[in-house]
Homo-oligomer: A and B are copies of this chain.
Amino acid sequence: MVKNVTFTDARDGVADCLKCSLRESVLFANLEEKDFEKLHDPIDQYTLPVGSTLYRAGDKGERMYTVRSGVLKLVQYLPDGSQRIVRLIRSTDITGLECIVGETYQHDAVVLHETEVCALPVRVVESLSKENPALHRELLNRWQRALKEADAWLTELSTGSAKQRVARLLLRLVKDTQMSECNLFAREDMGAMLGITTETASRTIAEFKRQSLLVETNTNHFLLDIPNLHRIAED
């Protein structure tokens, strides 16, 4: 089911953080040139194909990851073995923060759309943040952002009818893109995000298509009728 890609397979090379095209929005955004000089351990960069696993719940966390592009799901498993997706990680997000407090990873992180990440060794982040208040503050910000996101999943994506949940998920997916287009996920994943079955997810998407709330331009690539989806989402 899950493709077996090891890290070394996927390694692209060493990142040049100073010249990073995402500098503005990344954890290290506020570091200065002198700080980067302290980065003796190089920051590795990887490209991960769809279906590969970045880390697993329970693994000892030694690195956190900045996502440069792509989408990952954070998955937790229920006692009965079914999966529940608790968050999506996208461009400029950080995942694996928990290792800075010495925890093992709390989720499986699985690639939904091809993903590029930079691997930040905990030690590096830890030592930089000790000397650098800006980085330190940014860490807290990230944590708060994750928490906000978790709350939103509960209130928006796990409450109300299937139609409402699907509509809210769609709106959430385009919000960051500024355009009315979005790439959807496998129906099974949508179900696991919304707490509904695969079939209900499929039926709902199909119905939205019939009502022209969605227009499929490519496989799983859609243009959205945002105003009407809003109507459904809030109804």
Identify the A interface with B (CB < 8 A). Answer: 76, 78-80, 82, 84, 86, 97-98, 100-101, 103, 106-107, 130, 133, 137, 139-141, 143-144, 146-148, 150-151, 153-156, 158-160, 195, 233-235
The interface residues of chain B lying within 8 Å CB-to-CB of A146 are 147
**Number of chain copies forming the complex:** 2
Q: Is the CB of A80 within 8 A of B154?
A: no
Chain B residue nearest in CB terms to A153: B154
Q: Is the CB of B150 within 8 A of A101?
A: no
Q: Is the CB of B234 within 8 A of A80?
A: yes
Q: Is the CB of A78 within 8 A of B148?
A: no
- 13 chain-A/chain-B pairs, Cβ below 8 angstroms: A76-B151, A76-B154, A79-B233, A84-B154, A84-B159, A86-B151, A86-B155, A139-B140, A143-B143, A146-B147, A147-B147, A150-B151, A154-B158
Given A144-B143, A234-B80: A106 touches B151 (CB 8 Å cut-off): yes
